[in-house]
Structure 1
Amino acid sequence: MQYLLCNQFLQKISVSRIQVIQIHPYDPTSSYVGGIGTYIRGIIKHTPTECEVSYVGVSTDPARYPVGRWHNIKVEGRKLRFFPVISADLRRRKSIPLSLRFTLALLRYRARIEHDKAVLIFHRIEPSLPFFGSNSARILFLHGHNGKDFYNPQSEVRWSYFPRLYFLLEKLLIAKIEQVFIVRSDAIPDYQSLYPRLHERIHFIPTWVDDSSAAILAENEQAGLRQQLTAPLLFAPASKLLLFVGRFVSQKDPLLLLRAFHRLSQTRQDLHLVMIGSGELEGEIRQFIATQGLADTVHVLGPQPHQHILRWMNAADCLCMSSAFEGMPVVMVEALHCGLPVVSTNVGEAARLISNQQVGRLVKEASPAALSLGIEQVLAQARDRDACRRQASPYRAANVLQALNAHLGNRLTPQR
């Protein structure tokens, strides 16, 4: 995206550097990444050298990166300036939503952010409010279908209690956005119908995998890595390894996966489940593991650095996703890229990625019986790593960014 965006700016105004500022309540220095974090880091990495990159976010380590100051950091090999406006623990929820605290802090520090002639990139609509009157070019990424997700009974987003208020705010702010990119294709016609004047500005964009960092290991290397990772967990060599990566929240529904795993464990003794993540359901997860006698076969590892998650993907036999709703999960694209088949509930863009049985199973019913059957079927078939990798190949970063460029056209012409 930024390739064309910056080239257009360089052609139309006489400046030596273009300022690209991403604004989101995330800490790019933290090892806790998540799907949107991976997306943000990918944009940072692939921004061309003609652009000066800045990030306005939160600090998870205020002693090292104090709030209200600019810091010079390096992310994904790219030097950038980082300005945290609040301190926050991204693994814990507070009574006041992080998005609200972040937006209020942006209002406080707005004058410290040189935004008027910059390109501002948002990953939710609320943080664009403090820049409503700015002369900046603005791009919005939406990582789900708010028109549906807010009404899902398993949504933990606070706007779910006040959806009409959210859409009033969105209607006000989205009119100032030059381009809107949404990672769910079914959201495009809905948003184009909701905002007909913005019809040509609203586009689908898939998530992507950075194939320069998501290493593909040979089969013999994967075996050695598996032994290295699982040795501390006392795995039997012939065990099958299932992997869950995600937040422990209702949207991801990890308890559904645990119920499916418990069902499988009644007839199979060769299964282990590694769960990477954290969240408000962690207590319930650990209680379920204890009460069902799964302590020897279910291993909760907590959040891991991104590169370590990719190592687990190269070592596992199946990625399991039990979400109630999704956009287009980065973790699914990365798993397929690593040659790992996926079993998932039929949510978001899962059907786009799991389009044949060589790469996994799409579970149409969100039940322990259906999910456990899908996992059983994937484990029973021969592993086809090449098929998985072919499925992910259209979603390599270079491919997605090239397709994104075609959408931008001349809409981001700056004010002279």
Structure 2
Amino acid sequence: MGYNTTIAPLLVLNATNFKDYPLGGALGTVRLFLKNTRFKPILVGITNDLNQKLGKWTEIDVHGRKLPFLPVANTQINGIPHKILLMMGILIHHRKIKSRIQGSTVNIMLFVNREAYVSAKAIFGGAKQLNIFFKMTEAGNPLEISERKIGNNRILQYIYLHFFIKPMLKAAKVIFSINEECRQFCEQYLHSSVERRKIKDVHHYIEYEKIRSCYETAIVEKKYHIKRMIFWGRIADVKGIDLIIQAIDILKEENLDVHFIVIGDGSERPALEKLVVELDLQKEIVFTGRCSIEQIAVYAKNSDVFVMGSHTEGIPTSMLEAMTFGLPTVSTAVGGIPTLIKDGVNGFLVHERDPEKFSESIKRALKMDLGEVKGYNAKFIKDGYSVESVVEQMDGFMASQM
């Protein structure tokens, strides 16, 4: 690629410390990008280490790559959303950021931090050398205000969309869209063909070869007649795990010997464990807590179907991993998931939040030819969702703007 990475700094603003907070698929893609991009990332974020001095440049290790990091706020401040902490911290420490990048062409990439756009605009104003890149990694329409959070308050929605989102889309030189739903949302506010050409379709991505290797070396246990469903990810309300638990209850009532393994942790775990007890499913459903990708590979190799009941999603990392492991998938048809799952080919989509229909789809998935599913999934993921191919594409888009 024809550009000199030593003079191509990339300022990345995110409400994380880029290492281990918060856990989740979106941060995983950020870390992989930082590891593989040919640009020189300069990181500004928040820390969960009380001993780390705010406003002082330090160095952190991201997947073996040493990168400069400026912590501007601490997550231990209770009651304030982390993205707001980030915005406040950037404004407080803006001189430190400007002095670090002064005289360079700076590219600000905003990873689903709508609030960071406001503070970046305040710092840099209308500087001509500023290129803003916005990457969508959040669920569904990541720019659209969530009705699950604010209800149907039309005044708040209008303020949010017209004073936060529309200016950000107009200012961006390149917008990386992870699915068709994101593209359609952006096109509502970018009316001319010239503006719409800023939108570049890029896929979510995973380390395909590493994940595949974990699966190949995983140990197979004898499963006998038990059929195992599996989910891994953040245990939160938005993931809709209660729908899957209700579907497992229906399968049990039909005298099917099924198990459901839930890997991960989160705020909804106590409520879900209570639901399991109420439905008398303690023998059928197991919560493992967080696991490494190597441990997940072992569970996956001894499972039959990957399940997801999310209310909203972008392109879920766990689903890409499950496809790499060769598992058929049963999932709600939300966000970017229909771009991954083809009914009857590598799984089934459920279009209503109905436990009966979800359980029926699980039974259909259990009858699929696993050899055909594995072959389809392997080619699909390797060709379109490997980190090497997608990051190369993103780097090319950014380099073309310099």
TM over 0.5: yes
- Please name the residue that 2:35 is paired with: 45
How many corresponding residue pairs?
A: 384
**Conserved? CA contact 2:8–2:40, under 8 Å:** yes
SS in 1 for 2:313: coil
1:75 Cα deviation from its structure 2 partner: 1.6
- What is the CA deviation profile of residues 39-92 of structure 1, one whole-angstrom value per residue up to 9, with x for unaligned ones? 1011011112xx3333222223333x4433333222222221222222227xxx
- Please name the residue that 1:200 is paired with: 197
- Please name the residue that 1:59 is paired with: 47
Distance change >3 Å, CA 141–CA 364, structure 1 → 2:
same
Structure 1: unaligned runs, 5 residues or longer: 228-235
1:248 Cα deviation from its structure 2 partner: 2.7
Measured in 2, the distance between the counterparts of 1:98 and 1:31 equals: 11
Whichever residue aligns with residue 208 of structure 1, its letter is Y
1:361 Cα deviation from its structure 2 partner: 1.1
**Conserved? CA contact 1:150–1:159, under 8 Å:** no
Q: State whether structure 2 residue 256 is matched by structure 1 residue 266.
A: no
Measured in 1, the distance between the counterparts of 2:151 and 2:75 equals: 17
Measured in 1, the distance between the counterparts of 2:72 and 2:284 equals: 42
| The 10-residue stretch of structure 1 (242-251 or 341-350) with the greater mean CA deviation from structure 2 | 242-251
SS in 2 for 1:26: coil
- Please name the residue that 1:127 is paired with: 116
SS in 1 for 2:212: coil
Task: Choose which of 390, 394, 397 in structure 2 pairs with 1:400.
Answer: 390
1:374 Cα deviation from its structure 2 partner: 1.3
Q: State whether structure 2 residue 64 is matched by structure 1 residue 74.
A: no
- Please name the residue that 1:19 is paired with: 9
1:242 Cα deviation from its structure 2 partner: 1.6
**Conserved? CA contact 1:141–1:180, under 8 Å:** yes
Measured in 1, the distance between the counterparts of 2:150 and 2:69 equals: 27
- Please name the residue that 1:137 is paired with: 131
Whichever residue aligns with residue 191 of structure 2, its letter is P
**Conserved? CA contact 2:215–2:301, under 8 Å:** no
- What is the CA deviation profile of residues 175-197 of structure 1, one whole-angstrom value per residue up to 9, with x for unaligned ones? 32211112121331331231225
Whichever residue aligns with residue 123 of structure 1, its letter is F
1:33 Cα deviation from its structure 2 partner: 3.0
- Please name the residue that 1:304 is paired with: 291
1:301 Cα deviation from its structure 2 partner: 2.6
Measured in 2, the distance between the counterparts of 1:54 and 1:246 equals: 28
State the percentage of identical aligned residues. 20
- Please name the residue that 1:164 is paired with: 158
SS in 2 for 1:81: strand
Distance change >3 Å, CA 305–CA 122, structure 1 → 2:
farther
Structure 2: unaligned runs, 5 residues or longer: none
SS in 2 for 1:381: coil
SS in 2 for 1:278: coil
**Conserved? CA contact 2:206–2:317, under 8 Å:** yes
- Please name the residue that 2:70 is paired with: 83
**Conserved? CA contact 1:319–1:343, under 8 Å:** yes
| The 10-residue stretch of structure 1 (304-313 or 315-324) with the greater mean CA deviation from structure 2 | 304-313
Whichever residue aligns with residue 165 of structure 2, its letter is E
Measured in 1, the distance between the counterparts of 2:75 and 2:151 equals: 17
- Please name the residue that 2:368 is paired with: 381
Aligned alpha-carbon RMSD (Å): 2.9
Task: Choose which of 183, 188, 191 in structure 2 pairs with 1:188.
Answer: 183
Whichever residue aligns with residue 28 of structure 2, its letter is T
SS in 1 for 2:9: strand
Measured in 2, the distance between the counterparts of 1:96 and 1:264 equals: 43
Measured in 1, the distance between the counterparts of 2:150 and 2:301 equals: 32
**Conserved? CA contact 1:326–1:349, under 8 Å:** yes
Whichever residue aligns with residue 174 of structure 1, its letter is L
- Please name the residue that 1:97 is paired with: 81
- What is the CA deviation profile of residues 87-144 of structure 1, one whole-angstrom value per residue up to 9, with x for unaligned ones? 227xxx9643221122111111222223453322111222122221254322101234
- What is the CA deviation profile of residues 282-330 of structure 1, one whole-angstrom value per residue up to 9, with x for unaligned ones? 2321110111112222122333345544554344322111011111112
SS in 2 for 1:30: coil
Measured in 1, the distance between the counterparts of 2:235 and 2:306 equals: 16
1:345 Cα deviation from its structure 2 partner: 0.7
Task: Choose which of 305, 311, 336 in structure 2 pairs with 1:349.
Answer: 336
Task: Choose which of 77, 85, 95 in structure 2 pairs with 1:111.
Answer: 95
- What is the CA deviation profile of residues 214-273 of structure 1, one whole-angstrom value per residue up to 9, with x for unaligned ones? 134567x44x2557xxxxxxxx65433222123233321111111112212222453221
SS in 2 for 1:213: helix
Distance change >3 Å, CA 160–CA 390, structure 1 → 2:
farther
SS in 1 for 2:259: strand
**Conserved? CA contact 1:73–1:82, under 8 Å:** yes
**Conserved? CA contact 1:115–1:136, under 8 Å:** no
Whichever residue aligns with residue 175 of structure 2, its letter is V
Measured in 2, the distance between the counterparts of 1:145 and 1:46 equals: 26
**Conserved? CA contact 1:25–1:98, under 8 Å:** yes
SS in 2 for 1:280: coil
**Conserved? CA contact 1:156–1:251, under 8 Å:** no
| The 10-residue stretch of structure 1 (338-347 or 204-213) with the greater mean CA deviation from structure 2 | 204-213
**Conserved? CA contact 1:150–1:160, under 8 Å:** no
